[in-house]
């Protein structure tokens, strides 16, 4: 260790210790000054209270006797105490009965100290002691006011006052003198400690370190180090022993470094092999995902093709006879009206018919028949219109003839899907039925693939019905599905489909849109419905599909799609 290094280390030790010592000293000085100041302030307040109490007690009897000279002498005696500026006795009407440093029968006390007028009045009327700081004649003072009563005053609503005014500045000077004495004493002590610590550091730290440094410098190599004698039995000696032990292990460390280098080379080769295996695993995982996506698209295509062919065939087969019946009901109604008018004409022309005709009229209840037959025909016409509406809903749901984007009414697709699922929503002997609450907002026409969007509605609503049909939930006394539509500010719409079923935990929600993931029993669910729905909304319509759910609080699926698609292509 060189001399400059030694001095540098000693400077660091002394500076660090000096800073610590100065910090402790300054903290002690500040705390000491605070204690001195607080103690003197308390003494000042106690002195003011004792003066006013002593004056009031000593002069109360003298006031009743009217001995003003003794009262003046008592006031003057209290005024000679340290830090006392003035002592006075004031009558209830504000007259100065006695005041230190003034003649008897002084003017009203309010005129002597106008700044105390409000406080004097308040203390005289309320009878409460008052102690506060103020400035009188540019001098900071403490004012203590003690109300007291006397029969001489002959006033019940006001009291006489004993007043003491003490000098605060003198208190501060006393505090500063005490603080100065403490500061000088502390500085002397800190200087002595610093000198003592310098000598100890030089003897027990710096000199042994210099000896150790010389021994290391004189050694030709680290493995020829000789530990010097005379080192103190502390951390420095332990450091020397550590250096000596290190010297005996240099060769072993060199061999160890060679082994470490060889192991690092082997580890590098192993890491390269692991990277290749990891890349192969990633390629395999991507291939599996691509295979799953292809399988989903095949299943979706086959499902939609079969459903479309079935719905289109059923709609076509039902629509032909229903159209025939519906079209002919108009003529049947017209013919029926003509026949009924003809019967009325016969009854008018031949009011007295034969017995056989009268009997037949009674048997068939002609009057009831004439009234009920038009109603039957009207009911039949309403029924055929209802069937035609169902057929139209089936055709709207399938949308097989719409391969490109179409501008459609989303509400029409929702209504068609609800109509298809009506049988599952209705009440059954072991099920109370599901109430559907619809809150539709005015929406613009949306550019989309209608058939695919209807499939998304079908999947989400079917899952909601499955959740509500679970009879293991006795608290679901009123199964409900709520459908809310909204127009968003960024030229998009949202469809919210919620149920009050059993809900899902976070683990299930994390895998909700994964292919082939399902919580339904084997044979009841394929795990593709929500995965396909997510692909339809996100990939084919540039939208969002997400779920919000909690156990025992139901689930809500939200579909957000733009009104206009950025590009038109067949997915």
Residue 316 has a pLDDT of: 64
| Shared domain check, 415 and 316 | no
Residue 1 has a pLDDT of: 45
pTM given for the model: 0.39
Residue 495 has a pLDDT of: 96
Choose the final residue of a domain: 375, 401, 427: 401
Query: Is 530 among the domain residues?
Result: yes
| Shared domain check, 118 and 19 | yes
CATH number at residue 517: 3.30.565.10
- CB neighbour burial string for 542-552, b if at least 16 within 10 angstroms, e if fewer: ebebeeebeee
The pair phi, psi for residue 408, each rounded to 5°, is: -130, 170
| Shared domain check, 469 and 483 | yes
The pair phi, psi for residue 198, each rounded to 5°, is: -60, -45
Query: Is 213 among the domain residues?
Result: no
Query: Is 188 among the domain residues?
Result: no
CA distance 396 to 262: 73
| Shared domain check, 434 and 347 | no
| Shared domain check, 379 and 433 | no
Residue 493 has a pLDDT of: 95
The pair phi, psi for residue 542, each rounded to 5°, is: 55, 40
Instruction: Give Dmax over CA atoms of the chain in angstroms.
Output: 157
Cα distances (Å, whole numbers) of residue 493 to 410, 418, 555, 561: 10, 20, 20, 6
Choose the final residue of a domain: 401, 422, 456: 401
In a 13 Å sphere around the CA of 28, the CA atoms on its Cβ side amount to 15
| Shared domain check, 355 and 443 | no
Cα distances (Å, whole numbers) of residue 184 to 29, 34, 104, 180, 191: 10, 17, 49, 6, 11
Query: Is 343 among the domain residues?
Result: yes
The pair phi, psi for residue 237, each rounded to 5°, is: -65, -40
Q: How many domains does the chain have?
A: 3
| Shared domain check, 410 and 350 | no
Query: Is 193 among the domain residues?
Result: no
CB-based contacts of 363, cutoff 8 Å, min separation 6:
none
| Shared domain check, 385 and 409 | no
Exposed (0-12), middle (13-18) or buried (19+): which is 227, by Cβ within 10 Å? Answer: middle
* Nearest one of 426, 408, 559 to 498, comparing CA atoms: 559
Residue 546 has a pLDDT of: 93
DSSP state of 223: G
In a 13 Å sphere around the CA of 268, the CA atoms on its Cβ side amount to 6
| Owning domain of residue 305 | 286-401
CB-based contacts of 109, cutoff 8 Å, min separation 6:
88, 90, 94, 95, 96, 99, 116, 120, 163
Helix axes 450-468 and 366-398, enclosed angle (nearest 10):
110
- pLDDT tens string for the chain (571 positions)? 444 444 566 667 667 767 877 787 778 777 767 777 677 778 777 878 888 888 777 776 667 666 677 778 888 887 787 778 888 888 888 788 888 876 655 678 878 888 888 888 888 888 888 888 888 877 888 888 888 766 555 455 778 888 888 877 776 676 677 667 777 777 787 777 777 777 777 777 777 777 777 767 766 655 566 666 666 666 666 676 677 666 666 656 767 777 888 888 888 888 888 888 888 888 888 878 777 766 666 665 566 555 665 666 666 667 778 777 877 778 788 888 888 888 888 888 887 778 888 888 888 888 888 888 887 887 787 677 767 766 766 665 555 444 567 889 999 889 988 887 887 888 877 777 889 999 999 999 999 888 888 889 988 998 888 888 875 555 546 889 999 999 998 889 999 999 988 888 888 888 888 777 777 765 566 667 788 888 889 888 899 999 998 888 889 999 999 999 876 544 4
Choose the final residue of a domain: 384, 401, 418: 401
What number of other Cβ atoms are within 10 A of residue 500's Cβ? 22
Query: Is 250 among the domain residues?
Result: no
| Shared domain check, 350 and 436 | no
Query: Is 200 among the domain residues?
Result: no
Cα distances (Å, whole numbers) of residue 403 to 296, 301, 396, 398, 458: 19, 13, 14, 12, 19
Residue 5 has a pLDDT of: 46
| Shared domain check, 469 and 377 | no
In the beta sheet, which residues pair with residue 437?
482
Place of tokens 């949308």: 399
| Shared domain check, 151 and 48 | yes
CA distance 529 to 300: 9
In a 13 Å sphere around the CA of 447, the CA atoms on its Cβ side amount to 12
Residue 305 has a pLDDT of: 56
Element (H, E) at 2: none
Could you write out the DSSP letters of every residue in 416-440? HHHHHTHHHHS-BTTB---EEEEEP
Query: Is 13 among the domain residues?
Result: yes
Place of tokens 């292809």: 294
| Shared domain check, 173 and 36 | yes
Kindly report the length of the chain: 571
Place of tokens 């830090």: 83
What sign has the CA pseudo-torsion 261, 265, 270, 276? positive
């Amino acid at each position: 260790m060189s001399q400059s290094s030694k001095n540098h280390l000693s400077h660091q030790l002394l500076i660090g210790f000096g800073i610590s010592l100065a910090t402790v000293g300054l903290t002690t000085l500040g705390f000491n000054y605070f204690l001195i100041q607080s103690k003197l302030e308390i003494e000042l307040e106690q002195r003011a209270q004792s003066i006013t109490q002593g004056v009031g007690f000593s002069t109360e009897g003298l006031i009743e006797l009217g001995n003003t000279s003794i009262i003046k002498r008592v006031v003057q005696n209290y005024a000679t105490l340290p830090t006392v500026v003035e002592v006075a006795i004031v009558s209830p009407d504000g007259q100065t009965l006695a005041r230190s440093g003034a003649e008897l029968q002084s003017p009203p006390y309010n005129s002597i100290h106008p700044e105390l007028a409000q406080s004097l009045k308040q203390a005289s009327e309320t009878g409460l002691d008052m102690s506060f700081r103020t400035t009188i004649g540019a001098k900071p003072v403490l004012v203590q006011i003690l109300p007291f009563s006397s029969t001489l005053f002959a006033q019940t609503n006001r009291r006489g006052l004993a007043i003491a005014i003490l000098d605060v500045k003198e208190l501060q000077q006393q505090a500063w003198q005490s603080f100065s004495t403490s500061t000088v004493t502390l500085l002397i002590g800190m200087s002595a400690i610093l000198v003592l610590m310098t000598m100890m550091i030089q003897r027990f730290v710096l000199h042994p370190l210099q000896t150790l440094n010389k021994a290391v410098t004189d050694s030709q190599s680290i493995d020829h180090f000789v530990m010097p004698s005379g080192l103190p039995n502390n951390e420095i000696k332990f450091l020397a022993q550590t250096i000596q032990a290190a010297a005996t292990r240099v060769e072993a460390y060199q061999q160890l470094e060679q082994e470490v280098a060889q192991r690092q080379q082997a580890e590098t080769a192993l890491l390269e092999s692991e990277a290749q295996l990891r890349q192969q695993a990633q390629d395999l995982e991507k291939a599996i995902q691509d295979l799953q996506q292809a399988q989903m698209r095949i299943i979706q295509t086959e499902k939609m093709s079969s459903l479309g062919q079935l719905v289109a065939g059923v709609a076509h087969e039902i629509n032909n006879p229903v159209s025939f019946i519906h079209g002919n009901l108009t003529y049947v109604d017209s013919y029926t009206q003509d026949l009924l008018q003809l019967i009325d004409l016969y009854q008018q022309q031949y009011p007295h018919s034969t017995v056989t005709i009268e009997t037949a009229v009674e048997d068939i209840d002609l009057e009831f028949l004439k009234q009920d037959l038009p109603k039957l025909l009207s009911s039949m016409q309403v029924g055929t219109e209802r069937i035609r509406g169902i057929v139209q809903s089936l055709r709207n749901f399938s949308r097989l003839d719409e391969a490109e984007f179409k501008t459609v009414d989303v509400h029409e697709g929702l209504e068609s899907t609800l109509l298809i699922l009506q049988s599952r929503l209705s009440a059954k002997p072991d099920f109370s039925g599901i109430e559907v609450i619809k809150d539709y907002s005015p929406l613009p026409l949306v550019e989309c693939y209608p058939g695919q969007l209807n499939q998304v509605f079908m999947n989400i609503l079917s899952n909601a019905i499955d959740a509500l049909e679970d009879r293991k939930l006795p608290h679901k006394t009123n199964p409900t599905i709520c459908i809310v539509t909204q127009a968003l500010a960024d030229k998009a719409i949202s469809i919210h489909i919620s149920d009050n079923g059993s809900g899902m935990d976070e683990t299930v929600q994390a895998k909700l849109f994964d292919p082939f993931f399902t919580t339904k029993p084997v044979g009841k669910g394929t795990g593709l419905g929500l995965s396909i729905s997510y692909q339809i909304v996100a990939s084919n319509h540039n939208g969002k599909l997400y779920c919000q759910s909690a156990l025992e609080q139901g689930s809500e699926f939200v579909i957000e799609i733009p009104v206009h698609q950025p590009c038109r292509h067949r997915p």
